[in-house]
């Protein structure tokens, strides 16, 4: 393509909220064979919602939720934020012992005044969070977190988590003082356009793949909903780039679509990195295409623009 054609294509992209970082990026777009999607925040809305809170010990429900929220209070993760939000709502509005006046009064109290002090907070990527409350260790996260921390998961708890996962939810386990005390169910719905976009890619001869740090059962259930057959789950943040490289082995051109800090190594490893929406600066930096509208349809728009520019319309 001539420099003029590249300029025109870049302009068409910009008008559609697709920022194309140069002629090479534009040229690679038409050769894409695989599009690897991150799950959370890319295929899904990334607005996780707590659906279930199950306590397995003799602990008040409100106290359980306050404990979990206190542990997640410093978390940047969408799951952590969803948990704090749910507990806050329960604390201020769903407590039947409160009169409306008392509820109003509590709402006006300091934003985090209802939480316990948590010390030595650490976020463990791909696993969850750990902290100490009143000298007791609190862990909130997945099985891997529990297993690595020496916490036993009793069969009735495991069964409960499996049920959540089979309905496309993520089960978050909670341990207090090294005992498993409860589980939260978190749902994260697909973006409205996800199914149509996956279908569209297949029609264009492009193979969709899903990669996630989430567990296999939830991942399979979500992949089934969205129509993706090729899934890689329980991938640690650093492992996403390896997944990209495995698809590149036979010389295929691979695109990665992602949003988070965790995704930037994979965006960089891909032949075509596509950062979605108001993603993090570091993801935008690592990308070849930035899809400003956070709409997955723009993955197709991007490939279309490239194909048309290089007269490769199938």
The site for ligand ADP (CB under 6 A) is made up of: 38-40, 72, 75, 77, 79-80, 126-129, 140-142, 170, 172, 212-214, 237, 262
Size of the site for Mg ion (CB under 5 A): 4
- Of 68 and 305, the one with the shorter C-beta distance to ligand ADP is 68
Q: How far is the CB of 71 from Mg ion (least distance, A)?
A: 21
In whole angstroms, give the CA distance from residue 76 to residue 192.
25
Q: Assess contact for 106 and 98: CB atoms under 8 A.
A: yes
Is residue 38 part of the annotated active site? The answer reads: yes
Instruction: State the burial class of residue 192 (Cβ atoms within 10 Å of its Cβ: 0-12, 13-18, 19+).
Output: exposed
**Min CB(61)–ligand ADP separation in Å:** 19
Q: What angle do CA 67, 124, 128 make, to 5 degrees?
A: 45
Candidate segments 34-42, 105-113, 230-238, 276-284, binder of Mg ion by CB under 5 A: 34-42
Residues 250-269 that bind Mg ion (CB under 5 A): 260
* Residue 214 binds which entry of Mg ion, ligand ADP, none, CB below 5-8 Å type-dependent: ligand ADP
Q: Which is nearer to ligand ADP, 218 or 301 (CB)?
A: 218
Q: Which residue, judged by CB position, is nearest to ligand ADP in the bound state?
A: 213
Measured CA to CA in angstroms, residue 222 lies from 185, 241, 264 at distances of 15, 21, 23
Residue closer to ligand ADP (CB basis): 104 or 216: 216
Smallest distance, Mg ion to C-beta of residue 126, A: 10
Half-sphere exposure of 4 (CA within 13 A, CB side): 0
Q: Which stretch binds Mg ion (CB under 5 A): 31-39, 112-120, 136-144, 249-257?
A: 31-39
Which H or E run includes 11? helix 3-15
Q: With respect to ligand ADP, which residue has the nearer C-beta, 20 or 90?
A: 90
Q: Which residues make Cβ contacts (< 8 Å) with residue 175, sequence separation at least 6?
A: 137, 138, 139, 140, 146, 149, 151, 181
Work out what residue 237 binds among Mg ion, ligand ADP, none; the CB cut-off runs from 5 to 8 Å by kind. ligand ADP
Minimum gap (Å) between residue 257 Cβ and Mg ion: 11
CA 227/CA 222 separation, integer angstroms: 9
DSSP element (H, E) containing 55: strand 49-55
Name the catalytic one among 38, 188, 259, 271. Answer: 38
Q: Which CB, 171 or 260, lies closer to Mg ion? A: 260
Mind giving me the DSSP string for 159-197? HHHHHHHHTTPEEEEEEETTEEEEEEEEE-PBPTTHHHH
Site for Mg ion in 35-74 (CB under 5 A): 38, 40-41
DSSP 63: H
Catalytic residues: 38
The binding site for Mg ion (CB under 5 A) comprises 38, 40-41, 260
């Amino acid at each position: 393509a001539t420099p003029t054609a590249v300029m025109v294509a870049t302009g068409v992209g910009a008008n559609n909220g697709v920022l194309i970082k140069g002629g090479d990026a534009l040229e690679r777009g038409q050769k894409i064979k695989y599009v690897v999607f991150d799950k959370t925040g890319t295929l899904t809305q990334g607005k996780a919602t707590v659906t279930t809170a199950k306590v397995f010990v003799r602990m008040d429900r409100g106290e359980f939720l306050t404990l979990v929220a206190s542990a997640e209070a410093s978390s940047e993760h969408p799951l952590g934020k969803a948990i704090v939000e749910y507990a806050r709502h329960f604390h201020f509005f769903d407590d039947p012992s409160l009169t409306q006046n008392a509820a109003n009064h509590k709402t006006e109290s300091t934003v985090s005044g209802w939480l316990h002090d948590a010390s030595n907070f650490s976020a463990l990527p791909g696993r969850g969070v750990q902290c100490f409350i009143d000298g007791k260790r609190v862990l909130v996260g997945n099985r891997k977190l529990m297993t690595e921390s020496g916490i036993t998961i009793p069969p009735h708890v495991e069964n409960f988590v499996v049920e959540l996962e089979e309905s496309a939810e993520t089960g978050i386990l909670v341990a207090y003082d090294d005992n498993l005390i409860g589980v939260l169910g978190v749902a994260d719905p697909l973006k409205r356009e996800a199914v149509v976009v996956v279908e569209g890619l297949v029609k264009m001869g492009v193979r969709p793949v899903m990669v996630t740090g989430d567990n296999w059962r939830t991942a399979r259930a979500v992949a089934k909903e969205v129509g993706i057959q090729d899934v890689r789950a329980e991938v640690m943040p650093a492992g996403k780039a390896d997944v990209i490289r495995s698809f590149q082995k036979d010389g295929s051109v691979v695109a990665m679509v992602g949003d988070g800090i965790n995704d930037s190594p994979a965006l960089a490893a891909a032949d075509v990195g596509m950062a979605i929406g108001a993603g993090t600066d570091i993801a935008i930096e690592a990308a070849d295409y930035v899809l400003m509208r956070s709409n997955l349809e723009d993955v197709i728009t991007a490939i279309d623009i490239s194909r048309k520019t290089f007269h490769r319309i199938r």
